[in-house]
Structure 1
Amino acid sequence: MVVLTTKVMQRTALFVTFGGLVTSLITTFLPFWKTMNSDLNEVENWFSGLWHTCLYTEEVGIQCKAYDSIMGLPMDLQVSRVLMSVSIVTGGCSVLAAFPGLEGVDMCVGQPSVKRLLLVFSGVLSWVSGLTTLAPVSLVAYTTVVEFWDEGFPDVMPRWEYGEAMFSGWFGGLALIIGGTLFFVAVCMGDYEQMPPSEPRSPQAKHRTRHYQKTEVL
């Protein structure tokens, strides 16, 4: 009994891609990209995301405020907003394009070339979505490290550190890339299954071929 079939691989790719898309979508709107707490006031914890800045205190709880102006944002946050938006759009298109290309779905019936093209297109979109998720998360992580070790800031001044959303963004981007790769694997498996089986040569034919080769040598 063969468990890993083309149909199973296609659905696994769709499941992994959808999971990466949901994770990237949640990461985009989470305000926990960066976190900061001060040794002077341990009661307050600051959180920063792409769209909001939040303050957590034990008395009031968490309070979030949207950024006043887009132009006043640092360049890494502006670029991250655009790339994460592209990631969500391409990831959603990847899932929508893959669904009619799956085996067993009553769409594009009798058109295997169209189904194959849809799966390839979905794999490419999933790769684009994964890369446009990893790029902004890695960019914000890089700027956070640079600012953290900047010797121009006083030592008593609090520094921004990694938040939970950074790690969920890396996980979502990797899931999208893995999902796109699995789509390509499913396409290759389908192409292999559609190849005509090679006819085994009979022992008599092999014997005749050897006889002809010996005759030619003589």
Structure 2
Amino acid sequence: MVLFTTKFVQRASLFVSFGGLVTTFVTTFLPLWKTMNSDLNEMENWYEGLWHMCIYTEEVGIHCKAFDSFLALPPDTFAGRVLMCISIATGILGVAAAFFGLRGVEIGASRERMKRNLLILGGVFVVVSGVTTLAAVSFMAYVMVVKFWDDDRPEVMPGWEYGEAMFSAWFAGLLLVVGGSFLFVAVCMGDHEVKLQTEMIARCQEQRPRSLHYRKTEII
């Protein structure tokens, strides 16, 4: 339990949050959110992301093409792209705010209250980033399941299935939520340490006059 000091929890939370942010950023631009393989032509694999659609064949390899229009995107892809961009923006703000709120960072080292507020602000932004990432991937997964089991879809026509990027997005969102939550834990630990230090100082101040009084009494 000695290792779990306020300083350690702050840095561990920031490390987890930064890992989730990097994973979110990479996942956003991967064309592996959806995958489809047709039984009629098993040599072709289709992939779709938030920005590109790709096809892989053994003869040509992989060939990707960006979506032509932003407004012509499917609703789930449109919502996923917007939410992931919000996640990246809030994640960057959260990690930056939490970094300047760490103990040991020289900027504003004498302003403990400002550092505490920066940690709280960073935790809020990081949690929002994680929630938006989870919302984006969960909404796309829900729409994909509904379309896959739609009775109106012909059995011959293949349906989109989960790609590797969706599992990566779930993992990134979980990291962000955990990292942001432990930033709040670090703030609570810091408040508890300050409270204990204040109580110890108050006790020391109360005991000094008594000891002096006892000494005077013994001399008399």
Normalised by the length of structure 2, the TM-score is: 0.88
| Equivalent residue letter for 1:150 | D
1:33 aligns with 2:36: no
Paired position in structure 1 for 2:147 = 147
| Equivalent residue letter for 1:40 | L
Deviations 1:2-24 (A, max 9, x none): 11100000000100000000111
% identity of equivalent residues:
61
Q: Structure 1 residues 189-198 or 124-133, which shifts more?
A: 189-198
| Equivalent residue letter for 1:72 | A
CA distance in 1, matches of 2:13, 2:99: 11
Paired position in structure 2 for 1:187 = 187
CA distance in 2, matches of 1:110, 1:158: 62
CA distance in 2, matches of 1:139, 1:104: 40
Moved over 4 A (4+): none
1:74 aligns with 2:78: no
CA distance in 1, matches of 2:100, 2:67: 40
Paired position in structure 2 for 1:97 = 97
CA apart distance, 1:197: 3.2
SS of aligned partner of 2:188: helix
In the comparison of the two structures, how many residue pairs are matched?
A: 200
Question: Which consecutive residues of structure 1, in runs of 5 or more, have no partner in the other structure?
Answer: 200-218
Q: Is the 8 A contact 2:148 2:159 kept in 1?
A: yes
SS of aligned partner of 2:152: coil
Paired position in structure 2 for 1:166 = 166
CA distance in 2, matches of 1:153, 1:98: 48
Q: Structure 1 residues 40-49 or 1-10, which shifts more?
A: 1-10
In the TM superposition, 1:195-214 aligns within 5 A as: 195=195, 196-197=198-199
1:135 aligns with 2:135: yes
CA apart distance, 1:144: 0.4
Question: Which consecutive residues of structure 2, in runs of 5 or more, have no partner in the other structure?
Answer: 204-220
SS of aligned partner of 2:105: coil
Deviations 1:135-159 (A, max 9, x none): 1100110010001001101111111
Q: Is the 8 A contact 2:133 2:169 kept in 1?
A: yes
Paired position in structure 2 for 1:18 = 18
CA distance in 1, matches of 2:153, 2:5: 58
CA apart distance, 1:103: 0.6
Normalised by the length of structure 1, the TM-score is: 0.89
Deviations 1:114-148 (A, max 9, x none): 00000000000001100110111001100100010
Paired position in structure 2 for 1:210 = none
CA distance in 2, matches of 1:164, 1:102: 34
| Equivalent residue letter for 2:114 | V
SS of aligned partner of 1:56: strand
CA distance in 2, matches of 1:79, 1:160: 17
Paired position in structure 1 for 2:50 = 50
SS of aligned partner of 2:199: coil
Paired position in structure 2 for 1:211 = none
SS of aligned partner of 2:46: strand
Q: Is the 8 A contact 2:31 2:52 kept in 1?
A: yes
